[in-house]
Structure 1
Amino acid sequence: MAGASSSLRDEDLPRLTAELGLPGIIDVHTHFMPPAILAKVWDYFDSAGPLLGRPWPVTYRGSDEERVAHLRSMGVRRFSALSYAHKPGIAGFMNDWTKQFAERTPDALWSATFYPEPDAETYVRELVEGGVEVFKVHVQVGDFAPNDPLLEPVWGLLAESGTPIVLHAGSGPAPGDHTGPAGVADVLSRHPDLALVIAHLGMPEIHEFLDLAERHDNVRLDTTMAFVDFWGLPVPDDIPPRLLDLQQRLLFGTDFPNLPYVYAHQVEVLQRLDLGDDWMRSVLWHNGADLFGVEA
C-alpha cells in the first residue's frame, strides 16, 4: 500500500525536533472522541467505504491512554481532541466528553464542536465563556453549508472571541453537497476576522483555500494528510512557494490516530518540500504555540 512505510520513524521525532531547537511538536488536528463514536469511525475506515475508495487501515488503535502516551513519546507537547457533530442534537454530548477528556489530559487542548441548530449560539457562547480553546466543524460529514443561516450568529460570536475553528470544508477525500471554498468565502465576507484553520490545506482545492488565507489575515491552514504518499499525487510546482510565503499561518496537523501510515510520515513529507529549517520550526511548533499560548 502506498504510504505504508516511512524512512522517518515515530521514535526519531524527538531527535529531529531537538536538532531544530524545538521543545517538541504541537498537533492541531488529532482526534479523541467518545468511545462508541470513535468505534463507528474506525468501522467506516475498516469498510473502505465509497468515500474512501481504498483500504484505510487505522494505524493507531488502543485506549485513549495508550494513544496519549504514544503522542507524548514522540514529543507532541500539545494536541487537540477533535470531535465533530454529524447531526442535530449530538454536539452537547460530544462537548461534555471532550471537556472531561481535557480535564484529565493536561496537554490536550479543550476542544468542542457545533452544528447548525437553533441552540448553537447558546452552547457555543457558554463554551467560549468557559475557556474552550478550539472548535472542529466538518462540512462533509455534517452535510451542511458553512453559510447556513443558523450558523450566522455563531460565526459572529467566534469572530469576536477569536476562538480558532478547525474547519474541514475541502472536497477531499470525496466531495459533499456543501464542500469547497465558496461557502467559506461567503462567511468570511461577513466575518473577515474569523480565526479559521482550514483542515488538510483545503485538499483538493488547495489553491482556492490558499487564496482565502492570502486575503484574510486570521485564516490559517493545517497540514493534515497533505502530500502524503498514500494519495500517490505529486505536489504541484506552484504550491511550495505559496506555503513559504504563508509560513506564519501554517499549523502542523496529522489526523492521528486515524492514519493509514506512521505518524512520522507527515513530518517526512513536509521535509521533502525543502522549505528550510525555519519554515519547519514555524509549522511544527511556533505557529501553534502563538495561536494557543503554549510556552516552551
Structure 2
Amino acid sequence: MTKAKSIAVVGLGSMGFGMAQSALRAGHATWGFDVAPDRVEKLIGEGGKSGSIPSVAPGLDIAAIVVLNAHQTKAVLFGDTGIVQHMTPGSCVVSCATVPPDFAREMAAKCTARGVLYLDAPISGGAAKAADGLLKIMASGPPAAFEAAQAALDAMAETVFDLGAEPGCGSAMKAVNQLLAGVHIAAMAEAITFGKSQGIEPGRTLDVISKCAGTSWMFENRAPHIVAGDYSPRSSVNIWPKDLGIVLDIAKAARFSAPITAVALQQFVAATGMGLGGEDDAAVAKVYARNAGLTLPGEA
C-alpha cells in the first residue's frame, strides 16, 4: 500500500476538484486552493484541508497544478504568492494544464534550480473520470519526479503514459490529443447538423452512427448533449480556442501545416462570438445550425 502523502491541488475546477477527491479517497492528506472560496469549502466538507500557501507548502510532498493555462501555471508556481519558493527540496510539482512544450521545459528548469522536482503531466478524461481516479496522464520528467509523484498518480489516474525523461514530451503528446479531440468535436457537430439538414433528427443520427465506422469517442460522448438540448458545461467551448491555438502555435514553430485544426478552431471562435463560450463544447453545433437556419433539440 502506498504511504500516505501530503498533496495539494491548486485549481479546484471540474478536473482539479475530482483529482482532489481521488487523493482524499486514497487516504492522502489533501489541501485545496482555488480563487473561488466555495470550491475550497466544498473540499473541506469532504475531508480536505485549507490554509495559506506559505504555511502549507513546506510540508507538501506533491503539488498538483490544475489551472487553465500557461499564464496561470506560472503565476501559481512563481508569482508573488508562488508555491515553489515555499516547497522543500525533493518535493514535486505535477503540472497538469495544457501548455506548450517549451513552457513546460522552462518551468522544469526553474523548479530544478530550487531543488523541486517537476513532472510535465497533462491530463485527459473529463470531470467524471477525474472524480473516479480514472484519468489518463501523459507524463514526462526525470525518474526521480515520477517516483516522487507516484502516490498522486496512483490515486488520480487509471493510466500513466511514461513519455520519457525530458519535460515537454508530455505536453507535446497532449497537443496531439487536443488536436484530435477538438477536430472530432467540430466534426461531430458538423455531422449532426448536416444530418438535420437532410431531415434526420440528431437522436437518430446518434443511434446509427455510434454503431458504424464513422463514430468516435467524442461523437458518442458529446452528441447526446445535443440530442438532450443540454449544454451544461462538462467541458466548455472556451477551452478550445486556447488548446487548438496552442496546437497551431506549435505547428507554426515546426513549420507544419495543420489546416484541419485551423478550420476547427474557427468554429470554436465563432461559437465564443455567439456568446456560447461558457456552454458545453457540444454547443459548437449551434454555429452550424445558425448558419443553416436549423433548429436543434431544446431550442424554440
Which TM-score band (shorter chain)? 0.3 to 0.5
* Bigger proportion of residues as helix: 2
State the TM-score, normalized to the length of structure 1.
0.32
For CA contacts below 8 A with separation 6 or more, give which structure has more relative contact order.
Answer: 1
Q: Find the structure with the greater CA-based Rg.
A: 2
